[in-house]
Every structure is written in structure tokens, then in C-alpha cells.
Structure 1
């Protein structure tokens, strides 16, 4: 789980164009803490600090606890988008995405 947190924090910080210093200010945590998180040099993280990071990075806190196979930033964005749709729209979009995936199989062969 800490590996996922490290990767997500680094990816989202970079995507937002934030330095470690700016993120530490926004999250009200130390620069050292951010650095240790990103470099996986921390053995445990308090829930309060995860809340601060999720708020500063504008990502839902549950993103940190996602299945590690689904923990990529873009994957989590897609999941959050799909969650916001009503059932019919979500199913239609999934159907379209799956068609595109199927078509891409044929175009790469």
C-alpha cells in the first residue's frame, strides 16, 4: 500500500506542477515528510496526514487504498468519472470503451 501511496503522491504532485515545498505548504506537512513518502522511506502514515495529502492533491482519500492493480492515477481518474455517471450512461460508456479496445487489437496486428 505504501508503494501505491508513494507513486500516487509523486504522479499527482507532478501533474499539478507542484514542487515538494509547495505541496508541503498546501498539505501542512513537512518537506521531509513529502520526500520520505515519495521515496518510500516511511514505514507508516497517519490517517490525518493521508487526509491532508488527499485534500492538497485534490484526490479522494480512498484512492490511496485502491487495489494495487488499479492504483494508477489515470485509472483512478477513470474510475472516479465512471462512478459519477448514472447506471445507463456508465454501461453505455463502458460498452463503447470495450469496442475501442477490441478495434485497437485489430489495428495493431
Structure 2
């Protein structure tokens, strides 16, 4: 497989992982295989660690419309609210609570 084709394959795999997660059907085995593909691309010298992070961030932004960090912070905040006061958690519109 050519370098560019392999990188494109990795990008498609990352998008698929996030699309499955967004659809509520995460697949850990598929996610781990994708992580392996990305790691292989790094070992083969096709991409750097920073390029891998950029690919992941770009796919995440494309699927979820927010950065990985922002989504993680939002989920942590919602979980904290849910733990402290379930009533307040359920007062938040469901659209805003969706992971």
C-alpha cells in the first residue's frame, strides 16, 4: 500500500470510530484496530506523532463539531452535575446533555 493511501485509510478509520460513537454504537475492537493502524503509520515513518494527533483532532471536529478537549471537559462537567444533583442534570435540555 502506498504511503498516501495508508494515511487516507487511517483517516477514514478514525472518522468511522467517531461516527459509530456518535451513533451510540461504539466498537472498542474497531477502535483498537484503528489505534494500531495509526501506530503502524508512525512506526513506518509515514506520519509523526503530532500529525497523528492532528488527524484525530480533525476527525473529531468533523464528526462532533468540537475539539477533543472541549468535549471531554463538557462531559466531565455534566457528570459532575449528575452526581451532585440529578434534578439539575435533567433540567438541562437532552440535546445539550448528549455526549
| Same fold by TM-score greater than 0.5 | no
Work out which structure has the larger RCO, using CA pairs closer than 8 Å and 6 or more positions apart in sequence: 1
TM-score w.r.t. length of structure 2: 0.28
Per the normalisation by structure 1, the TM-score is 0.26
